[in-house]
Structure 1
Amino acid sequence: MINQDSIVALATPSGAGAIAIIRISGSDAITIGDSVFKSIKNKDLTKQKTHTLHLGHIVDDSKTLDEVLVSVFKGPNSYTGENTIEISCHGSTYIQQQIIQLLLRKGCRMADAGEFTLRAFLNGKLDLSQAEAVADLISSDNEASHQIAMQQMRGGFSNEIAKLREELLNFASLIELELDFAEEDVEFADRTQFHELLNRIEFVLKRLIDSFAVGNVIKNGIPVAIVGEPNVGKSTLLNALLNEERAIVSDIAGTTRDTIEDVLVIGGIGFRFIDTAGIRETKDVVESIGIKKTFEKIEQAQVVIFLFDGFKFQVSGSEYIVEIEKVKNKYPLKPILVVINKVDLLSENEIQTINEKLETLNLKLLKISAKEKIGVDELKNELLSFVNTGALRNNETIVTNTRHYDSLLKALDEIQKVKYGLETNLSSDLIALDIREALYQFGLITGQVSNDELLGNIFANFCIGK
């Protein structure tokens, strides 16, 4: 499947900028680069050492297109494992297109999405899970997702899977050997050691599978719905959390008629805050649609902030408690934060009365003033507590990829079948079938087992030039 033709693409974002980088990879990459490059010191690129920089001009016949720096990387010591050059030119879109068109005329073709990384995988520079981590690294938008992508790109996840696969493969070989001597009724695989290995593999697989819940949250952000009656300060709270005037604030009930979303990074974790239309009885058709969307957002959110006006709560506290109970009973596993707003206008006795009314709910209560930004930091810390960041701090492997998660689930199912086979003295040929399937699922993760359709689906999501 490895194609030796030379491919070219813009490696930096499209559009004008100070500098743009054009990447070429393939067996003739350096030769093609040399044919359009005129060094200020008359250097021949094909004779230069790998990992060197050269100043000169890109020339189309007698026409000089730009002054550039050319980086030379000779295979196999390059990202793709092939001969590679990178042309750093000025960021004019005209210059970029002129140079790329010139290289196409000289024998390159435009790279497909992710083709540079695909070649790195096919040439053994990366395994498949590491290659996928490249895309995650590019799209990471907070510290936590960046940390996970870097760990996977360095091979933390694939090394753990490869070690398990190797140990299982060794026992699989012994089981297969027993099949060759089935008539002699001999056992080459120590069943006790094999059972211990299966227990260890099962433990690791369960840990990795459980980590997906955290990994998925870190990768995609945590949706947090801010709900409550109209005019209790939901939009003000959103603005205070984001530290900007993102939502419209007014004294008119029903100002927010649709959901407003924005993302805030707290402690390296992305939180997607959703300011919803207030929940109340209304004859306004547009506002009614907004309230319907509020309930939809509660369904989608992983955390719900139930916001109340401190003054109103003193008067109608029992009614509000009923509303909280409804949400709590409907979503028993969903974390709910009860937040009392405008506490800067309440006395200590009034706050104590509110505390006593809410004790029966057994929910976390926070007291803030969104307008004065009192208690906002405590709210952020409380939100962060809902994320298990222990795995991040301990640099444990965290699964974020749905394809990996699916293969881990299937591998675990096969391992449990093998365990059951051992415990019930199932014949070696049936146990061997389950072991092969488990090995297959492990191989799908790292790319030791792959096909063109799988690779096409994975790399189609990459950006051009990577």
Structure 2
Amino acid sequence: MPARRVGSVRLLRQGDEVLDEALILTFDAGHSFTGEETVEFQVHGSVAIIGALLARLGEMPGLRQAEPGEFTRRALENERLDLAQIEGLADLLESETEAQRRQAMKMFSGALGQKAEGWRGKLIRAMALLEVTIDFADEEVPEDVYPEVIAVLDGVMAELRVEITGVAAAERIRTGFEVAIVGAPNVGKSTLLNGLAGRDAAITSDVAGTTRDVIEVRMDVAGLPVTFLDTAGLRETEDVVESVGIARAKERAAQADLRVFLLDDPSQGAELAEEGDILLQAKADVAGGSFPGVSGKTGAGIAELITAISERLSSRVAHAGVATHLRHKRALQEGCDALEQARDLMLQNVEMSEIVAEEIRRAVYALDSLVGRVDVEAILDEVFSSFCLGK
């Protein structure tokens, strides 16, 4: 079949035995996902058909089943994707919410690679200017290149610092937020969790101390991935098991991104509360109160609570950068540190062009690692371990 064409054919197992009717797509080298010459089979998706097709292909010399992430790894090796795009693809495959999808798609589209290429070009220009002073050290250089080099370094460092600051927010979008529901026993925490989830995720009872471990429910809140935590009721107790649950509750609540406190009385306060946390009247369906309340039993106030949570969490990710992984932050910080060192050297001694150029080269090396130009092998296994077979 001609390359880059689609055709409908009958797949035969042996002789005239029809395995399936399928669409066949053929790609020339340089035009497929991997960049290699490729044939794609689009078959009916039953387990039996796929199993029979794989078995028949496996009988052919030179064919084997792809390893996890092998197609994407080949795309990297053939320079169809850079390393940051591959991480974006992995995030895209695992995305659960709209915010995660948008962020991963930005990475997969090459946004970080484009920024890294821009920084690289500017720093190469700075090194070229310094090379002039090195190569012609015994001659009079027409103009002082240091001011232009310092301007380049300042500009790139400013952009790197913005990206470094935004990594934390971007990582929260990728991994998700935690919101802890905190309060005394029998205040309605488990009922509220069930109301938020729309199902019986937690056991509810009039018996104090029913919830003894942290119960987690993952939800999509305004496109953001949020895990709600139903914690043990906070009180003094001599029950050993319950006391362990209370200690865990305090620990998880302290680590959570946001806390929702259910209170019988606003004057009780909440000793674990931080600025931005939400304090609500518990069991608003039966208890009157002078401050906003919520009832997991009737649903009163739940919509308002979800809105308040989404507003608080959305404000925290408003300045999320393109870089989304801890690896990116480390590379960006290493590059920024090298440029700061280069700038300091320039201001200290104008006779240190070689050392300054080497520091800028170190920054370029760090930024190149973002897209996989260097130090690829050290992290490939970790990156591709999350891919499914054949992707």
TM-score using structure 1 length: 0.78
Alignment of 1:407 with 2:339, yes or no, is: no
Matches within 5 A, 1:118-197: 118-184=73-139, 186=141, 190-197=145-152
1:200-240 CA distance string (max 9 Å, x none): 21121111111111111111111111111110000111112
Alignment of 1:64 with 2:18, yes or no, is: yes
Post-superposition shift, 1:292?
A: 1.9
Q: Distance in 2 between matches of 1:243 and 1:126?
A: 41
Q: Which residue of 1 is the match for residue 158 of structure 2?
A: 203
Q: Which residue of 2 is the match for residue 386 of structure 1?
A: 312
Q: Match for 1:93 among 47, 54, 58? A: 47
Matches within 5 A, 1:307-322: 307-309=262-264, 313=265, 318=267, 320-321=268-269
Q: Where in structure 2 are there 5+ consecutive unaligned residues?
A: none
Q: Which residue of 2 is the match for residue 40 of structure 1?
A: none
Equivalent residue pairs, number: 389
Q: Distance in 2 between matches of 1:290 and 1:388?
A: 31
Distance 1:422 1:90, change over 3 A: same
1:405-439 CA distance string (max 9 Å, x none): 11111111112112212222351111111101100
Q: Which residue of 2 is the match for residue 7 of structure 1?
A: none
Distance 1:187 1:219, change over 3 A: farther
Distance 1:425 1:135, change over 3 A: same
1:264-285 CA distance string (max 9 Å, x none): 1111111110001111122333
Q: Which residue of 2 is the match for residue 433 of structure 1?
A: 358
- Which letter maps to 1:449? V
Q: Distance in 2 between matches of 1:371 and 1:155?
A: 47
- Which letter maps to 2:44? H
1:18-39 CA distance string (max 9 Å, x none): xxxxxxxxxxxxxxxxxxxxxx
Larger displacement relative to structure 2 (441-450 or 419-428): 419-428
Q: Which residue of 2 is the match for residue 377 of structure 1?
A: 303
Post-superposition shift, 1:175?
A: 1.6
Q: Which residue of 1 is the match for residue 228 of structure 2?
A: 273
- Which letter maps to 2:84? S
Post-superposition shift, 1:288?
A: 2.1
1:358-415 CA distance string (max 9 Å, x none): xxxxxxxx422222222212211221222345976x9x74321221111111111112
Coordinate RMSD, CA, aligned: 2.3
Q: Distance in 2 between matches of 1:387 and 1:185?
A: 58
- Greater strand percent: which structure? 1
Distance 1:179 1:238, change over 3 A: same
Distance 1:188 1:435, change over 3 A: farther
Q: Distance in 2 between matches of 1:82 and 1:433?
A: 38
Larger displacement relative to structure 2 (93-102 or 112-121): 93-102
Distance 1:239 1:272, change over 3 A: same
Matches within 5 A, 1:245-260: 245-260=200-215
Q: Distance in 2 between matches of 1:417 and 1:241?
A: 51
Distance 1:457 1:346, change over 3 A: closer
Larger displacement relative to structure 2 (284-293 or 184-193): 184-193
Whether the 8 Å CA contact 1:234–1:275 is kept in 2: the answer is: yes
Q: Which residue of 2 is the match for residue 341 of structure 1?
A: 282
- Which letter maps to 1:96? I
- Which letter maps to 2:72? T
Q: Distance in 2 between matches of 1:187 and 1:397?
A: 40
1:53-101 CA distance string (max 9 Å, x none): 4332243455432222222222211111111122122333333233223
- Which letter maps to 2:59? R
Q: Which residue of 2 is the match for residue 299 of structure 1?
A: 254
Partner SS state of residue 260, structure 2: strand
Alignment of 1:84 with 2:38, yes or no, is: yes
Q: Distance in 2 between matches of 1:282 and 1:249?
A: 20
Whether the 8 Å CA contact 1:53–1:72 is kept in 2: the answer is: no
Distance 1:346 1:281, change over 3 A: closer
Post-superposition shift, 1:260?
A: 0.8
Matches within 5 A, 1:20-39: none
Q: Distance in 1 between matches of 2:85 and 2:212?
A: 44
Q: Distance in 2 between matches of 1:199 and 1:53?
A: 56
Distance 1:172 1:343, change over 3 A: same
Larger displacement relative to structure 2 (337-346 or 289-298): 337-346
Alignment of 1:453 with 2:371, yes or no, is: no
Q: Distance in 2 between matches of 1:384 and 1:267?
A: 6
